[in-house]
Each structure stands twice: as structure tokens, then as C-alpha cells.
Amino acid sequence: MKKILTLVLASTIGGIFTLGAYKLILEKEEQPLVVDTVAKQPALINTNTTNTGTSRAYETPDFTTAAENTVNAVVHVKNITLSSGQMTFEDLFLGRRPQRAQLGTGSGVIITPDGYIITNNHVVDKSQELSVTLNNNKTYAAEIIGTDPTTDIALLKIEADEDLPVVTFGDSDTAKIGEWVLAVGNPFNLTSTVTAGIISAKARDLSGNPNNIQSFIQTDAAVNPGNSGGALVNTNGELIGINTAISSQTGSYVGYSFAVPSNIAKKVVNDILEYGNVQNGILGVSGIALNSATAEKIDIDDTQGFYVGSVEEDSGAEEAGIKEGDIIKEIDNVKILKFADLKGHLSTKGPGDIVNVMYSRDGSVKTAAVKLIRNVTAVLPTVGQIKNASPKDLKKYKAKSGVKISQLDPKYAEYWAKNGIEKGAIVTAINGTDVSNVDDVQKILKNAASNEPLRIELINKYGEKERYNFR
């Protein structure tokens, strides 16, 4: 018994010594790790204690004011058109062509208190009857003041019995990618619908044609059928675009929508009101947007900008000294990375406007002030592109008046060459009417019946006057 007690006592004393050694030696060596961890915590806390006033990722802008200022100025547009119905034996026997009414709907934006409304051309195209319903459920007959199919913009007018709420134009050039926007319209006939998103891209072209004129604002705000012609506004409620199209295989919204920039829409409206049509200003250059493939093809190192392939004679670009082979980098401080950037900015300008062009030539950067000229070119079917003829052009072909062929249609170039017709030839008359300028040609073509043959009179390179009939 005494031996057992002695053994227990010895074990206890040994344990006490072991514990004391651990506390004094081992635990003391690990202690700095704990202190170091605690010391880092105040630094992390302190960086978040001061409010800098910047937006946080989890904060969402307040859209209520912008929505309230917009919904009352966005209208519901109804368009009744007539289309061919199914023909019966009785219709065939009596020589009748049955027609049926079709109802189309869209949106529009009131831009003046006295009732001017901007919408899409495709919303009102071929209309037999137009009506506009306001957000207060009042309905008015609408008149088409003017349209521009090229930009898909139309201007309407209603006669209201009171001043109407309006949306003010913003500057679409200053809109930034990533900026919050609201789309306001009437999708699926659901009036006064507001959706939110951000600007996903600018100067977007949907055609796939490198020389197309499209230059849309792309957003991810939900836009569906019926939204066409509605407002795209920023968080201040300012109009920065007219909703126009969606990218979809189903016909409904699947992620992206597109709007005509407000600066283009405003310019179209002003031209319609002042001139009755759109006055386009052009630099007077043609060419191609650069990328790796095109740069390699024309054997240059630069892959960004607009490569000038040719300069139109008597144009502002020629007078400013721009030459073939120059690469346009900026216009009015707007970077030119693709043709849509160039065309989008020029679409906001008119003839006589001055633009500042920055371009590269042989590695040196140059600037020039270019006066835009009126677009005096058009396409004459089967012939090609035509333009106004100068006195020098007319003298060369001994013509009193006419328009000049500036580019032959590639499909018929071989045919024309066999008949002595080349670039520079003068077209003197169309459908029996003498022409002096491009406007004359466009008026004749517009008024021609759809089944009427096209009769063209021109002077070939031998100075001989020839006549051609096309069906």
C-alpha cells in the first residue's frame, strides 16, 4: 500500500513539472502568431469606417424619378394597314382583289407640348389609319409629318386639347457603356411598361455589312414587340435613344435590344421640320474599317481606324488635304474603330457643318477641319451609282445637262462595257424626262409605276447618245 501511494505521488509531481515546462517554453514560442493575427483586424475595420460617397456594387440607382418623368410622355401607337386577303372563285370571276385590315401597335415619344411625337418608321409604315393613345387613356388621330426609312425614324403630330408632357433630349454621344438606362414603351399592348438595364455597346451594326449605315445603342433592358418607337432614357429621365430592334430568333426579348441614338433621331426630326426630308452631310471619302484581316490584305501595320480608299472630287475631304491611304482615327474627339462609329457621328451632322478629323499618314498624326457636303449621290437601277455632274463633266461629253455615273453596277459592268458605257458617262434623261441633278432622278424613280419599264438615255464614251429600256 505504501509503495502504491509513493508511485502516485511521484507521478503527480512529475506531471506538475512537465506542465510548467510547457507553459514556460513551448507556449511562449507560439504566442507571437496569436498577437500577429489580432493586430491585423483593426486595419481591415478602419478602411471601411470612412464613407467616401462612391457607389457600392450592391447599391441600385433610384429609377423612380426618371420613370415618373417618362411614362406620361410615352404613347401607344396603333396602325391600321390593308393587306391582300385570300381570293375566292367569286373574287376571281368579278376581278376583285380582297383586302383585310391589319392592326399593328408600337410606341412613340412626345417631344413637344403641342403634340409632335417621334417613333419608328416601321411602326407607321403603309398605314391607312393612325391613332395615338396617351397614358391618361385619351386617344387622338395622328398625322405623319415625315419619315426616314434609312434611320427608321418617323415624326407624327396630334392635335390635343391641352399641353402635353414631354421627354427632353439628352446627349447620346456622352452616354457610356455600363451606364444604367430605362426602356419605356408598350410591349404586347401592355401600356406604360418600364424595364431597366445597362448600355452594353455603342455604334452597333446588325447588318454584317462593313459599309452599312447602322449605328445603334445596344442595351440589356428588356424590349419586346410593341416597344418599338418607345423611349430609352438615362437615370435623369433624358431621352438618349428610340427603341427600335431586338436580336431574337423567337420574336421576343432574349437578352439584347437596340436603339437609334437620340442625337441621330433629333437631327432627323429637325431636318423633317425644316426641309421636309433628311439632309445628310458627308466627308467625301470611301474605304473600309481596319482589323487584322483587312490590314494584312492592304499590307499595313495599323489595325484600328477607317482606311481611306478614295476621296471624292470637290468634297470637303479633298479640300482639307485628306488623301487615299490615310487612316481616320477620330472625328470631333470620337474614336473611329469601325465604320459604324464614323457613320453614326456623321449622321448627327448636316451639309455645311465643320468636323475636326484626326488621321494618320505614314505614321504621322495630322488634323484637319473638314466642311461636310450634301450627299448628292443615288443608285440608278441596273446602271449603278450616280452623282451630280460638274460643268467640266458635261463639257467632256458635250451635254447640256445630266448626271454622272460615278460607279457602274458590278452585275452589269460587262454589259455596259460592251456598249461603250464607262464610269463618268452622262445620263441625260429617264423615262422621257430630262434630268439635271440627282434630285430629278430620285423624283422620277419615286413617281414611276411599279410595272413601268425603266427607259434611260445616256451619252457613251464616243459622244453618242443611246437609249436603253429595262423591265
Cell 393587306, located at residue: 83
pLDDT of residue 29: 44
Q: For the beta carbon of residue 419, count every other beta carbon within 10 angstroms.
A: 13
pLDDT of residue 90: 63
**Residue 413 pLDDT exceeds 80:** yes
**Residue 113 pLDDT exceeds 90:** yes
Q: Calculate the average pLDDT of the chain.
A: 83
Residue 83 φ then ψ, to 5°: -130, 160
Q: What percent of the chain has pLDDT above 90? A: 49
Specify whether 450 is catalytic.
no
Residue 80 φ then ψ, to 5°: -100, 120
**Residue 27 pLDDT exceeds 50:** no
**Residue 169 pLDDT exceeds 70:** yes
For 39-113, strand residue ranges (E) read 74-84, 99-110
pLDDT digits (tens, 9 = 90+) for 70-106: 999 999 999 987 765 566 656 555 566 656 667 788 9
- Active-site pick, 122, 127, 172, 326: 122
User: Worst-scoring range by mean pLDDT, 1-5, 30-34, 59-63?
Assistant: 30-34
Residue 227 to residue 202: CA distance in whole angstroms: 20
Q: For the beta carbon of residue 124, count every other beta carbon within 10 angstroms.
A: 22
The residues pairing with 242 across neighbouring beta strands, listed in sequence order, are: 231, 260
Residue 11 to residue 128: CA distance in whole angstroms: 110
Greater confidence, 210 or 125?
125
Between strands 180-185 and 216-219, the pairing is: unpaired
**Residue 296 pLDDT exceeds 70:** yes
User: Worst-scoring range by mean pLDDT, 25-34, 194-203, 390-399?
Assistant: 25-34
pLDDT of residue 35: 30
Residue 200's SS3 state is: strand
**Residue 272 pLDDT exceeds 50:** yes
**Residue 392 pLDDT exceeds 50:** yes
pLDDT of residue 88: 64
- Active-site pick, 76, 107, 148, 152: 152
Specify whether 152 is catalytic.
yes
Residue 7 to residue 174: CA distance in whole angstroms: 91
**Residue 369 pLDDT exceeds 50:** yes
pLDDT of residue 122: 93
- Locate 335 and state its grid cell: 474614336
Q: Are 232 and 217 in contact (CB under 8 A)?
A: yes
Contacts of 171 (CB under 8 A, 6+ apart): 240, 262, 263
pLDDT digits (tens, 9 = 90+) for 202-242: 988 876 655 556 789 999 998 888 899 999 999 999 999 99
- Active-site pick, 172, 215, 228, 257: 228
Specify whether 228 is catalytic.
yes
- Locate 429 and state its grid cell: 434623261
Report the pLDDT averaged over residues 309-332. Answer: 93
